[in-house]
Structure 1
Amino acid sequence: MSEKVEMMTGEPSRHNAVSIFLHWVIALLVFFMIGLGLYMDHVPVSNSGFLHQFHKSVGIVTMLLIVVRVIWRLTHKAPALPKDLSAAQRVVAGGMEGLLYLYQIFVPATGWLMVSSMAMPIVLFGLVSWPLIPLPQSVMDSGTLAEVMPDIHNWLAWTFGGFIALHVLAALYHRFIRKDQVVNRILPRHGSGR
């Protein structure tokens, strides 16, 4: 049925396989990173060296996947929203999508900036050195950026978690109250895809 709709309207009826794959892999990584970050808050600094390196490694991989996802999203058309959604609902949906993409970029980027401002090395999974963001010596000497970045990174992570919760609630609303096909557009196909 979805293929017929696509042929008749010229609009994709669901996200393509790459978009679906990136959505769910990044979602799992983001949930893992939030959980790991919360856990690290309760581990003494003296015992958290491995956890910090692991958090940085997964964060960099997530950031790279997000860059791929944004490029893919900009070059591949998304399926249209249901026609019966109001203009206000469409604006909210588009705004939420934009915010989620921004947070997916800014949270790992601020983590990278944070460790760069502290001149902390990043060694991806203990194997490959990742470059720090080059900062002016005056910024490094003042130490101000190093002081504020942990709070900025944490605040962004917490607000990102809030927007993720709203995103999940919206998905549940579409699935169980509106009972439309919005959620099906991003779910992997099962069996024959029917």
Structure 2
Amino acid sequence: METGTGRPERYGLVAIILHWVIAVLILFMIGLGLYMDHVPLNDPTPLHQLHKSVGIVTMLLIVVRVLWRLTHRAPALPQDLSAGQRVVAGGMEGLLYLYQIILPVTGWLMVSAMAMPIVLFGLVSWPLIPLPQSVMDSGYLAEIMPDVHNWLAWTFGGFIVLHVLAALYHRFIRKDQVVDRILPRHGGGR
């Protein structure tokens, strides 16, 4: 069903499934990353391979989600939102998408710079990003990428908290239907 703006009232099933599957995977990755924070990167623990495996799967799903979003219109925001609120909402959406792409790529770049193999779930080898030999020899990229990846993860976590707070604001303070647009339907409605 569409609104008077030519936009749907809510996200479609594919967008909803992608949103929630990716959200669960990201929360899992954050928890695993925090747990692994005390494990050296060169430790052969299976947790590193699990983190890399889930990260690659999440990255691929995010690519699908971005392509889906580029080809399907998002539901309209409530008409009583101010221009500033619309800019903030659009900016936050853009930042969340950007971080969802940059974070796994920096992880991939980090393990590539360290020449650490990626074996998805212990079954399939995933290629490393080909880097010039001079970059590999210098070791500089391998040295800085863990900090870059970690910093991005922490800032992404902050944006996720803001995203959840905005959802709670819409649900419990504004009491509008913004959150309903991305929730799965069950039974006869909400």
TM-score, length basis structure 1: 0.94
Question: What percent of counterpart residues are identical?
Answer: 82
Tell me, in whole angstroms, the C-alpha distance in 2 between the residues paired with 1:117 and 1:45.
12
Kindly report the root-mean-square deviation, in angstroms, between the aligned alpha carbons of the 2 structures. Answer: 1.4
Tell me, in whole angstroms, the C-alpha distance in 2 between the residues paired with 1:177 and 1:187.
18
1:112 equivalent in structure 2: 108
Amino acid at match of 1:50: P
1:20 equivalent in structure 2: 16
Residues 40 and 48 in structure 1, CA contact (< 8 A), matched pair in contact too: no
2:175 equivalent in structure 1: 179
Tell me, in whole angstroms, the C-alpha distance in 2 between the residues paired with 1:114 and 1:75.
31
Residues 170 and 176 in structure 2, CA contact (< 8 A), matched pair in contact too: yes
The answer for unaligned runs of 5 or more in structure 2 is none
Q: Displacement of 1:11 after TM fit?
A: 1.7
Residues 59 and 104 in structure 2, CA contact (< 8 A), matched pair in contact too: yes
Tell me, in whole angstroms, the C-alpha distance in 2 between the residues paired with 1:8 and 1:81.
12
Tell me, in whole angstroms, the C-alpha distance in 2 between the residues paired with 1:25 and 1:110.
21
Amino acid at match of 2:66: V
Residues 41 and 48 in structure 2, CA contact (< 8 A), matched pair in contact too: no
The answer for unaligned runs of 5 or more in structure 1 is none
Match of 2:35 among 32, 39, 52: 39
TM-score, length basis structure 2: 0.96
Whose helix fraction is larger, Structure 1's or Structure 2's? 1
Match of 1:123 among 113, 119, 125: 119
Tell me, in whole angstroms, the C-alpha distance in 1 between the residues paired with 2:103 and 2:6.
36
Deviations 1:44-100 (A, max 9, x none): 667652000000000000000000000000000000000000000000000000000
Tell me, in whole angstroms, the C-alpha distance in 1 between the residues paired with 2:53 and 2:113.
17
